[in-house]
């Protein structure tokens, strides 16, 4: 049942002209919504921290996003995120996903970040 649902679930048109330039075009609508709403309801305060986070992955489809880190005991292949967090409750205010072609920087939502 999951395979049937996944086969018909699409967020964007595959013939999108931006697909050649933007490696994140398939998840771009979701990333833009998250970037616009994450910090909207949080009082950030005066202290923030910049953190690097990684999410383990075994996908064969995300070759532009997956990085290899031989020092990790498990999950040597992972997605890499940079997070701007407020220090009181460790809430994420902004984030950026690192890609090999830096396509997450060109969406206009990363101003004053990295």
pLDDT tens-digit series, residues 80-102: 899 999 888 888 898 988 888 77
How many residues appear in the chain? 114
Q: What is the pLDDT of residues 39-94, one digit of tens each?
A: 888 888 888 899 998 888 877 777 778 888 888 877 788 888 999 998 888 888 98
Contact call for residues 31 and 23 (beta carbons, < 8 A): no
Q: CA-CA distances (angstroms) from residue 82 to 12, 15, 60, 78?
A: 25, 30, 22, 13
Cα–Cα distance for residue pair 66/4, rounded to 1 Å: 26
Q: Where are the alpha helices (DSSP H) in 10-104?
A: 28-37
pTM reported for the whole predicted model: 0.75
Cα–Cα distance for residue pair 81/113, rounded to 1 Å: 12
């Amino acid at each position: 049942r999951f395979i049937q649902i996944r086969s018909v679930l699409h967020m964007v048109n595959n013939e999108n002209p931006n697909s050649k330039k933007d490696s994140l075009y398939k998840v771009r609508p979701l990333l833009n919504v998250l970037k616009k709403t994450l910090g909207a309801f949080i009082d950030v305060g005066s202290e923030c921290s910049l953190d690097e986070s990684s999410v383990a992955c075994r996908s064969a489809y995300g070759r532009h996003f997956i990085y290899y880190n031989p020092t990790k005991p498990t999950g040597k292949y992972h997605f890499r995120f940079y997070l701007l967090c407020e220090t009181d409750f460790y809430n994420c205010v902004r984030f950026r996903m690192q890609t090999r072609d830096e396509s997450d920087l060109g969406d206009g939502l990363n101003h004053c970040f990295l």
